[in-house]
């Protein structure tokens, strides 16, 4: 991946704010359980993966969540809401400001490479809030039609292989 | 809540629990009942560690594909205990306790790697690839002062060794030198085991781990309970991956400790079955991207699912094209780790690997099927801790422990407890 990295593009203020909007709106949609909105942060054939650091470093392909394209993402959230039995809980994501690390200018053929840390905490009935995972997003981002930004790829690499009980929402 | 064992109060309890006769009495109905205390009593748990996990059983340790070269090692667990599994210079495999013979330090601090020898960082006690002690700094003191006692010998000292058995690329471990040969131990389950581990070279595809808030036995029983799969797992039912109206069987070995659930993928549920499952069945649910369930037949025979539970710590998963070892590591009476090692075969096409990766969406902590289980197990433990007087009823499919040709049964749980009651002296 580092081979394609170039000097990060310098964005104007408006583009920079729009990029932050993508990151914060993504987290808010999931925190607020607007699952139907989740695929809309991606391009049609975007790749979404949630992977333990161990697999990432060993170059092993298995992911906790693996969606190729928005349809597969939609299937995951429908399955989550319609078929999975889980204890009710509040999940909340804390995402650091986006950091542009390389790639192109964000045009369709030259996505920007962006990173941000994420912390996911959960609260179950009769339990105190606990950390589910801490991780880093390795994203590729392009300009959408309306002046905003879209994810063409999101790889969430989380630190602790060992997770508490279950992870019932996308990160 | 459940890790109180790490405090010193349990240090004494260990001796008492294992040496003293059990005060508990199993319900008079026998294996058709499981008392709540089997899942919540510290003394029972400590006895299990000693009698089952340190006793004459074979625990899953690792896949040989994880340690292909001389010096390659992985850390694993037998019961709670951390164990080093390492490939020796001659290609053999050794296993020994990850605890220094000097002060008990868990000297191997990397989950995997390659080593010529192992050195405890605390006082530099050095071990070879067999776990034998090879050297001690300042053993003879310095300028005539200090050093170990003259009668101290390093011969025969070392990290506690484990017995190692290998079959089809899978490594099993035992603390007990008197354990029966592995092939005997596996018994009638051998044919299901060899179906997946047929001699082809394995390829590790990745790991997942989760710490589930329940007693370890509940996970084992979950894979011996096809009844739940037809009512809890809406995803499996809706896509016909595992359902009670499909051709299926439950088989045990002669002791009852191992079992296999065997099933065949079917189409739409028949009318009678659909009625029983109507609370949860979502026949109308369709995938927008069918690649998630692009299942191909890859094993001989009609079965598309074979889930094996091998006493005391292994579930071998073959659900469609997802293959995984699920290793149970008890972490106190009310918690255990479920360690998933996904694999395929070295000669898999890239398309087959991709298929396995897609289908892994169903498995693990975020699995569209497996999350049901980790959630319901935690809820089971909550209930059992609140109501210790409860006796679980295990009568679905009758009261016996014989193999069946259907899935509406808890027979494999009964067979498991038949063995458990005997081994534990309950």
Could you report the per-residue pLDDT of B200-256, keeping only the tens digit for each?
999 999 999 999 999 999 999 999 998 888 788 888 888 777 776 778 899 999 999
| Residue A163 lies inside a defined structural domain of this protein | no
Structural domain harbouring A78: 11-158
**Could you tell me the CA-to-CA distances from B344 to B65, B153, B324, B366, B393 in Å, in that order?**
11, 46, 9, 20, 38
A residues 99..138 contacting B (CB < 8 A): none
Nearest to B207 among A50, A161, A165 (CB): A161
| Closest CA–CA distance from residue A76 to any residue of chain B (Å) | 8
Task: Report the CATH architecture of B59-165.
Answer: 3-layer Sandwich (2.102)
Which residues from A are below 8 Å from B286, CB to CB? none
- Predicted local confidence at residue B407, as pLDDT: 87
Nearest to A72 among B235, B292, B374 (CB): B292
In this prediction, the residues of chain B whose per-residue pLDDT falls under 70 are: 1-22, 244, 266-270, 280-281, 283
Question: The whole model's pTM is what?
Answer: 0.93
- Containing B16, the helix (H) or strand (E) segment is helix B9-19
In chain B, residues under CATH classification 2.102.10.10 are 59-165
| Residue A81 lies inside a defined structural domain of this protein | yes
User: Given an 8 Å threshold on Cβ–Cβ distance, is B371 in contact with A164?
Assistant: no
| Residue A167 lies inside a defined structural domain of this protein | no
Which residues from B are below 8 Å from A66, CB to CB? 357-358, 360-361
Could you report the per-residue pLDDT of B304-321, keeping only the tens digit for each?
999 999 999 999 999 999
- Predicted local confidence at residue B321, as pLDDT: 96
Q: Are B224 and B413 in contact (CB under 8 A)?
A: yes
Tokens 């991606």 appear where? A42
Nearest to A54 among B207, B337, B379 (CB): B207
Nearest to B353 among A61, A64, A80 (CB): A61
Longest pairwise C-alpha distance within chain B: 89
Asked if B376 is an interface residue toward chain A (Cβ–Cβ < 8 A), one would say: yes
Asked if A18 is an interface residue toward chain B (Cβ–Cβ < 8 A), one would say: no
Which residues from B are below 8 Å from A156, CB to CB? none
Which contacts (CB < 8 Å, 24+ apart) does range A30-35 have?
A: A30/A91, A30/A93, A30/A169, A30/A170, A30/A171, A31/A90, A31/A91, A31/A92, A31/A93, A33/A169, A35/A77, A35/A80, A35/A81, A35/A169
- Predicted local confidence at residue B239, as pLDDT: 76
Nearest to A71 among B211, B288, B374 (CB): B288
- Predicted local confidence at residue B3, as pLDDT: 39
| Closest CA–CA distance from residue B39 to any residue of chain A (Å) | 17
CATH of the domain at A18: 3.10.450.50
Interface test with B, best of A35, A39, A50, A64 (most B CBs within 10 A): A64
- Predicted local confidence at residue B391, as pLDDT: 97
Residue of B nearest to A55 (CA): B206
Residue of A nearest to B372 (CA): A85
- Predicted local confidence at residue B230, as pLDDT: 79
How far apart are the C-alpha atoms of A56 and B73, rounded to whole Å? 19
- Print pLDDT tens along chain A (171 aa): 444 556 788 899 999 999 999 999 999 999 999 999 999 999 999 999 999 999 999 999 999 999 999 999 999 999 988 889 999 999 999 999 999 999 999 999 999 999 999 999 999 999 999 999 999 999 999 999 888 999 999 999 999 999 999 999 999
Q: What's the CATH fold of domain B191-424? A: Naphthalene 1,2-dioxygenase Alpha Subunit; Chain A, domain 1 (3.90.380)
In chain B, residues under CATH classification 3.90.380.10 are 191-424
User: Given an 8 Å threshold on Cβ–Cβ distance, is A84 in contact with B204?
Assistant: no
- Predicted local confidence at residue B14, as pLDDT: 41
Total number of domains constituting chain A: 1
């Amino acid at each position: 991946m580092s081979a394609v990295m170039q000097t990060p593009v310098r964005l104007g203020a408006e583009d920079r704010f729009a990029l932050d909007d993508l990151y914060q709106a993504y987290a808010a949609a999931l925190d607020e359980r607007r699952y139907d909105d989740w695929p809309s942060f991606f391009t049609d054939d975007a790749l979404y993966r949630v992977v333990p650091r161990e697999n990432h470093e060993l170059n092993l392909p298995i992911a906790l969540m693996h969606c190729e394209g928005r349809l597969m993402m939609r299937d995951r959230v429908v399955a989550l809401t319609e078929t999975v039995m889980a204890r009710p809980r509040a999940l909340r994501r804390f995402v650091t400001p986006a950091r542009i690390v390389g790639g192109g200018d964000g045009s369709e053929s030259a996505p920007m490479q962006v990173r941000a840390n994420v912390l996911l905490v959960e609260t179950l009935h009769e339990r105190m809030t606990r950390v589910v995972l801490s991780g880093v997003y390795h994203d590729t981002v392009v300009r959408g039609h309306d002046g905003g930004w879209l994810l063409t790829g999101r790889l969430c690499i989380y630190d602790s292989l060992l997770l508490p009980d279950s992870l019932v929402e996308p990160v | 809540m459940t890790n109180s064992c790490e405090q010193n109060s349990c240090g004494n309890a260990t001796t008492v629990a294992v040496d003293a006769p059990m005060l508990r009495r199993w319900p008079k109905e026998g294996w058709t009942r499981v008392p709540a205390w089997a899942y919540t009593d510290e003394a029972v748990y400590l006895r299990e560690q000693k009698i089952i996990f340190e006793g004459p059983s074979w625990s899953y340790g690792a896949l040989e594909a994880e340690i292909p070269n001389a010096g390659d090692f992985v850390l694993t667990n037998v019961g709670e205990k951390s164990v080093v599994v390492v490939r020796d210079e001659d290609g053999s495999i050794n296993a020994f306790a990850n605890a220094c013979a000097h002060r008990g330090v868990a000297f191997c601090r990397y989950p995997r790697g390659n080593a010529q020898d192992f050195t405890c960082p605390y006082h530099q006690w050095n071990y070879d690839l067999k776990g034998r002690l090879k050297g001690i700094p300042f053993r003879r003191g310095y300028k005539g002062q200090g050093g170990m006692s003259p009668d101290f010998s390093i011969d025969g000292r070392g990290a506690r060794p484990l017995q190692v058995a290998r079959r089809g690329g899978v490594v099993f471990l035992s603390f007990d030198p008197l354990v029966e040969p592995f092939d005997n131990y596996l018994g009638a389950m051998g044919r299901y085991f060899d179906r997946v581990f047929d001699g082809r070279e394995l390829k590790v595809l990745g790991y997942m781990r989760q710490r589930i808030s329940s007693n370890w036995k509940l996970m084992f029983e979950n894979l011996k309970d096809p009844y739940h799969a037809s009512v809890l797992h809406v995803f499996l039912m809706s896509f016909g991956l595992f359902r009670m109206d499909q051709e299926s069987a439950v088989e045990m070995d002669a002791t009852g400790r191992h079992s296999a659930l065997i099933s065949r993928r079917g189409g739409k549920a028949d009318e009678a079955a659909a009625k029983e499952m109507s609370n949860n069945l979502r026949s109308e649910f369709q995938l927008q991207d069918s690649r998630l369930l692009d299942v191909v037949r890859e094993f001989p025979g009609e079965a598309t699912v074979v889930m094996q539970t091998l006493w005391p710590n292994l579930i071998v998963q073959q659900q469609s094209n997802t293959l995984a070892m699920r290793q149970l590591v008890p972490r106190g009476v009310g918690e255990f780790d479920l360690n998933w090692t996904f694999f395929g075969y070295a000669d898999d096409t890239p398309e087959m690997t991709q298929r396995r990766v897609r289908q892994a969406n169903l498995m693990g902590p975020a699995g569209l099927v497996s999350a049901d289980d980790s959630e319901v197990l935690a809820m089971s433990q909550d209930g059992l801790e609140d109501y210790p007087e409860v006796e679980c009823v295990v009568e679905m499919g009758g009261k016996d422990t014989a193999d069946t040709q259907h899935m509406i049964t808890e027979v494999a749980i009964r067979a498991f407890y038949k063995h458990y009651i005997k081994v534990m002296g309950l």
